């Protein structure tokens, strides 16, 4: 196959990838979009096989490895519970990162195959591209591993900070740049290996200071990094499909990070620098005065909701932890049978990744046109009889509007306080992730339901 | 003087960033999780580099370091391609509209 024809095929798969993302603008077109993505990938792989034209022993091994990886991936995809989606995505990011590192290493060890020159005499531009690709890939890999461990709960979600952390990271970035410079000058293997090792370390150090609830930003950011790494490799291999994809994924992750930061009213840098929600913030806890709290049981909740004409449900990370989405849907079914109007309100940063709550509700067969984003539904709280807050906390805290001293001041919140009565399903009065008290707990119209989210929801359903 | 082909690739790259910017802003927020898993899958098109690396040379060189890294990259990318697309498919299949009946 001529290189020109090959390039055209890569362009086609690049376009199909664009269409795959375009399809996600609505759930109806999304499945077709995913199909475009699969076709694009198939084209890219098949034409690469044909162009390589080498169907010897190596090809057989390749197929075996492809099969191993593919069946492993398929197995994971079918078995993974929807609640584990954040850690799955983090895990996948780490694989893309590591694959980028491996491809960069092969290109460095055997540059002739990729037309990059010869060992010890690689084109300067290619060297810069492949070391950038390898470096970003390595950062993505180790960073995603940390994110995965934190999301999975193997590692504590608390931020790990130490003195001089940011200077150390800065030093590592500078040393990577200096090493790339020397690699271009001397082309010694050692510089290349050192770049990769330092980048692994940097990825690790970048993510450990970031706390659990900032994970939506971290995952989106790593998503973006994996794209830039792919683009770096795309430049090295002079492959259009890879360059287009890298740019798409890179900007996609960047936009998601931006949306998540805006949802928390925090600057991107304050998230990256980390340390938010750490133990040092518990100092505010000393002024803990005993405020009266109204707590109720499932009976009261059922009574309130049965007599309501409209109910808005506010799910949060706690719903995911308790796996309460199915129980919730069953409760809503009963309510709807009783003529209650029910809708769902999703805060942009609810859960541990962008769109986390939407997937869980979709899994529980909640129609997506009953699920609303913050801007769409926020005005409806004023006319709603009952807000059922299940596993959310900080995103409903009115302090974000009224208390300029609060760490979450300025964060857009769901106006749960405006509804006639609020039902809070929560295990205890403990503050949420931001480490601050929620005023809403002590309001006259709030009823606290202290229980596991799933059990409480099930009991309410029985009482309805 | 001729234009360096690098400039063409850079142009593709920059324009694709713009395409990505507009396309991703039009993605509905409720599909942000599938967006992440599908971007994951498509960025594994890096497998083309791995294929070229692992098929380099003849049957005597397939266990050279460069080829072995290629094979490893194939396994990782394959996990991602299959895992990413299938899990996206699984998620998207769950998004349903309200039933008209009743």
CA B7, A39, A85: angle at the middle one, nearest 5? 95
Confidence at A115, pLDDT banded by 50, 70, 90: confident
The mean of the pLDDT values for chain A is: 87
Task: Give the C-alpha separation, A38 to A29, whole Å.
Answer: 15
Burial profile A30-50: b = 16 or more Cβ within 10 angstroms, e = fewer: beebbbbbbbbbebbbebbbe
Q: Report the length, in residues, of chain B.
A: 102
Active-site residue, selected from the candidate residues A394, A415, A437, A439:
A394
Task: Give the C-alpha separation, A336 to A324, whole Å.
Answer: 18
Which residue among B59, B74, B88 places its CB closest to the CB of A69?
A: B74
Q: A268 with A257: CB under 8 angstroms? A: yes
CA A98, A215, A222: angle at the middle one, nearest 5? 30
pLDDT score, position A338: 87
State the average pLDDT over residues A173-186: 92
pLDDT score, position A277: 46
**pLDDT at A44 exceeding the cut of 50:** yes
- Supply B29's token pair: 């927020």
State the average pLDDT over residues A13-33: 93
Q: Give A-chain residues touching B70 at CB under 8 angstroms.
A: 102-103, 106
Of the residues A29, A362, A370, A373, the best mutation for testing chain B's interface (the one with the most B CB atoms within 10 Å of its CB) is A362
A164: left (phi over 0), alpha (psi -120 to 50) or beta: left
Q: Give A-chain residues touching B21 at CB under 8 angstroms.
A: 251, 255
Enumerate residues 6+ apart whose C-beta is below 8 A from A7.
A240
Q: Report the length, in residues, of chain A.
A: 464
Give the Cβ contact number of residue A18 at 10 Å.
21
Which residue among B26, B32, B96 places its CB closest to the CB of A355?
A: B32
CA torsion sign, A33 to A36 to A40 to A42?
positive
Nearest chain A residue to B10, by CA: A235
CA torsion sign, A249 to A252 to A256 to A257?
positive
**Residue tagged 């069946």 (tokens):** A71
Higher pLDDT residue, A285 or A441? A441
Find the Cα–Cα–Cα–Cα dihedral B92, B94, B100, B101, rounded to 10°: 150
CA torsion sign, A144 to A146 to A147 to A153?
positive
State the average pLDDT over residues A411-432: 83
* A394 is a catalytic site residue: yes
Question: Maximum Cα–Cα distance for chain A, whole Å?
Answer: 79
pLDDT in tens, A147-161: 999 888 888 877 787
Give the Cβ contact number of residue A367 at 10 Å.
15
- For residue B86, give the H/E element and its range: helix B65-94
Task: Give the C-alpha separation, A458 to A451, whole Å.
Answer: 11
Confidence at A276, pLDDT banded by 50, 70, 90: low
Confidence at A274, pLDDT banded by 50, 70, 90: low
Confidence at A145, pLDDT banded by 50, 70, 90: very high
Q: A90 with A144: CB under 8 angstroms? A: yes
**pLDDT at B55 exceeding the cut of 90:** no
- Supply A288's token pair: 């803990």
**pLDDT at B78 exceeding the cut of 60:** yes
Q: Which residues pair with A122 in a beta bridge?
A: A117
The proportion of chain A whose per-residue pLDDT surpasses 90, expressed as a percent, equals 44
Task: Give the C-alpha separation, A172 to B78, whole Å.
Answer: 32
Q: A432 with A303: CB under 8 angstroms? A: no
Query: Cβ of B83 and A92 within 8 Å?
Result: yes
Torsions phi, psi for A134 (to 5 deg): -65, -40
- Supply A161's token pair: 């900070």
Q: A227 with A247: CB under 8 angstroms? A: yes
Q: Half-sphere exposure (CA, 13 Å, Cβ side) for A122?
A: 31
DSSP-derived secondary structure letter, B63: T
Query: Cβ of A34 and B96 within 8 Å?
Result: no
Q: Half-sphere exposure (CA, 13 Å, Cβ side) for A193?
A: 4
pLDDT in tens, A280-308: 343 344 444 567 778 888 888 888 888 88
**Residue tagged 């900070």 (tokens):** A161
pTM over 0.95: no
Task: Give the C-alpha separation, A97 to A144, whole Å.
Answer: 9
State the average pLDDT over residues A79-95: 92
Q: Give A-chain residues touching B95 at CB under 8 angstroms.
A: 27, 30, 362, 368
Burial profile A181-217: b = 16 or more Cβ within 10 angstroms, e = fewer: eebbeebeeebbebbbebbbbbbbbbbbbbbbbbbbb
Which residue among A95, A249, A367 places its CB closest to the CB of B97?
A: A367
């Amino acid at each position: 196959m001529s290189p020109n024809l090959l390039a055209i095929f890569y362009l086609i798969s690049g376009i199909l990838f664009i269409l795959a993302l375009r399809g996600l603008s609505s759930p109806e077109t999304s499945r077709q979009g995913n199909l475009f993505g699969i076709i694009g990938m198939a084209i890219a792989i098949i034409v690469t096989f044909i162009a390589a034209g080498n169907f010897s022993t190596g090809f057989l091994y390749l197929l075996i490895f492809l099969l191993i990886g593919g069946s492993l991936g398929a197995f994971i995809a079918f078995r993974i519970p929807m609640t584990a989606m954040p850690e799955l995505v983090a895990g996948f990011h780490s694989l893309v990162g590591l694959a980028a590192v491996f491809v960069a290493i092969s290109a460095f060890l055997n540059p002739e195959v990729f037309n990059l020159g010869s060992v010890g005499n690689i084109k300067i531009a290619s060297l810069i591209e492949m070391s950038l690709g390898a470096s970003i890939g390595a950062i993505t890999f180790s960073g995603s591993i940390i994110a995965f461990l934190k999301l999975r709960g193997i590692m504590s979600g608390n931020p790990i900070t130490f003195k001089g952390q940011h200077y150390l990271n800065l030093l590592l970035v500078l040393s990577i740049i200096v090493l790339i410079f020397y690699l271009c000058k001397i082309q010694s293997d050692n510089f290349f290996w050192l770049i990769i090792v330092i980048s692994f370390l940097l990825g690790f150090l970048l993510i450990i200071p970031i706390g659990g609830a900032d994970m939506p930003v971290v995952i989106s950011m790593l998503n973006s990094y994996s794209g830039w790494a792919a683009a770096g490799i795309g430049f090295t291999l002079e492959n259009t499909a890879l360059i287009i994809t890298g740019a798409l994924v890179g900007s996609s992750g960047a936009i998601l990070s931006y949306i998540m930061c805006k949802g928390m009213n925090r600057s991107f840098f304050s998230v990256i620098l980390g340390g938010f929600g750490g133990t040092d913030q518990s100092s505010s806890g000393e002024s803990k005065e005993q405020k009266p709290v109204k707590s109720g049981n499932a009976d009261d909740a059922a009574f309130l909701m049965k007599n309501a004409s409209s109910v808005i449900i506010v799910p949060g990370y706690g719903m995911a932890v308790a796996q309460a989405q199915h129980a919730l849907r069953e409760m809503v079914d009963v309510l709807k049978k009783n003529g209650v109007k029910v809708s769902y309100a999703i805060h942009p940063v609810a859960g541990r990744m962008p769109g986390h709550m939407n997937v869980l509700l979709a899994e529980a067969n909640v129609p997506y046109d009953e699920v609303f984003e913050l801007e769409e539904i926020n005005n409806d709280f004023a006319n709603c009889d009952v807000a059922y807050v299940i596993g959310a906390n900080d995103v409903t805290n009115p302090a974000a509007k009224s208390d300029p001293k609060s760490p979450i001041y300025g964060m857009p919140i769901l106006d749960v306080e405006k509804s006639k009565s609020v039902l809070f399903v929560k295990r205890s009065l403990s503050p949420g992730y931001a480490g601050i008290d929620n005023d809403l707990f002590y309001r006259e119209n709030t009823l606290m339901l202290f229980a596991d989210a799933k059990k409480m929801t099930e009991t309410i359903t029985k009482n309805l | 003087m001729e234009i360096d082909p690098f400039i063409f690739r850079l142009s593709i790259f920059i324009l694709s960033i713009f395409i990505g910017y507009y396309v991703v802003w039009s993605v509905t927020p409720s599909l942000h999780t599938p967006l992440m898993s599908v971007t994951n899958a498509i960025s594994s098109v890096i497998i083309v580099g791995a294929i070229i690396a692992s098929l380099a040379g003849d049957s005597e060189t397939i266990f050279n370091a460069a080829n072995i890294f290629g094979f490893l990259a194939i396994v990782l990318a394959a996990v991602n391609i299959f895992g990413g697309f299938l899990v996206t498919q699984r998620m998207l299949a769950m998004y349903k509209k309200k039933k008209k009946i009743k």
